[in-house]
Amino acid sequence: MDERYNVLIADSYPHESKQLKEELQKQYNVIAIAENGEEALSGIISLKPDLVIVDLMLPGLDGLGVIERCREVMSPDEVPAFIALTMMENQDLMEYIRHLKVDYCMMKPFQAAILAERITQMIRIRSVNTKIQKEIHKEKEEIPSIGNKNDIRREISLLVRNLGIPAHIKGCRYIKCGILMAMEDANSVNYITKSLYPDIAKKYKTTIGSVERAIRHAVDIVWIRGNKQLLGEIFGTFVIEQQERPTNSEFIAAVADWMRLEYQIRVS
């Protein structure tokens, strides 16, 4: 990337923050590290980073409180993207994260390099969205949105075929359905077992377990003998080189993000 983006890390564990900073500094400007909520909020307001990585269990003002306060006191243009870090997979918590429209939620522990790849994808998408919004405001006319589901379905089918997922296996149709859902709602992959799997199972009149296994089988196939060049574009060369096979939710999220970006670039 030509432009280095400013990142603020808010985590109460200095050792973890230091490791994350060392990894992210390869691509981004880590402009501050905060160890509590008040310090994080002050840094966000004064430094105006592009992205904030915030642990939800910060002492004092917790991570959710930091996000809420930022949305209250900052203008929409100043509010950064947020990646929430948590060790708890609590349904009520996840629902509230979704309500706050957090850009991404990652479970601890995680690999810093994988988080860096996710940040790259997020920033690219956010940049395109910002560009589109500016042109809408400037030209006072509507730019085509991701509204024609038939067109999007055809594009998803083409991408899945180019990736190398066999059309005859059940996981192929389930993955295509999951990608469409994730394109419409990026947070849906954070609730894959409670929302995305059940919705797919209901549509195809099967069980949640069957959906999960079929998608896993499809991901296994494409990761072993799929289109490595295209996989590299979507997931990043680090992932491909290290053979870090993604989970079902990571696979669907990454492909949906890539599709959303590619589609928006063309219509803009």
Q: Cβ(62)–Cβ(56) under 8 Å?
A: yes
Q: Domain range holding 125?
A: 6-138
Distance CA 116, CA 104 (A): 12
For residue 163, what pLDDT band results from cuts at 50, 70 and 90? very high
Model confidence band, residue 143 (pLDDT cutoffs 50, 70, 90): very low
Q: Provide the mean pLDDT of the chain.
A: 81
In this structure, the answer to whether residues 185 and 87 fall within a common structural domain is: no
Query: Does residue 82 belong to any structural domain of this protein?
Result: yes
Beta strands in 58-212 (DSSP E): 81-86, 104-107
Domain CATH number, residue 76: 3.40.50.2300
Q: How many domains does the chain have?
A: 2
The amino acid at 61? L
Q: Is it the case that residue 160 has pLDDT exceeding 90?
A: yes
Could you tell me if 84 and 189 lie in one domain?
no
Res 13: pLDDT: 87
In Å, how far are 108, 212, 222 from 208, measured between CA atoms? 25, 6, 22
Asked if 215 and 259 sit in the same domain, the reply is yes
226 lies in some domain: yes
Q: Is residue 268 scored above 60 in pLDDT?
A: no
Q: For residue range 221-247, what is the model confidence (pLDDT) as tens digits?
A: 998 888 888 888 887 654 445 556 788
Q: Which of 43, 76, 42, 40 is nearest to 56 (CA)?
A: 40
End-to-end CA distance of the chain: 20
Query: Looking at 138, 173, 193, which one is the last position of a domain?
Result: 138
Please give the residue that has the higher pLDDT: either 118 or 124. Answer: 118
DSSP state of 145: -
The answer, yes or no, to whether residue 148 has pLDDT greater than 80, is no
> What digits encode the pLDDT tens for the residues 74-103?
988 888 989 988 887 777 777 778 777 787
Per the model's pLDDT, the better-predicted residue between 121 and 160 turns out to be 160
* Whole-number Å distance between alpha carbons of 107 and 28: 22
Least confident of 54-58, 248-252, 260-264: 260-264
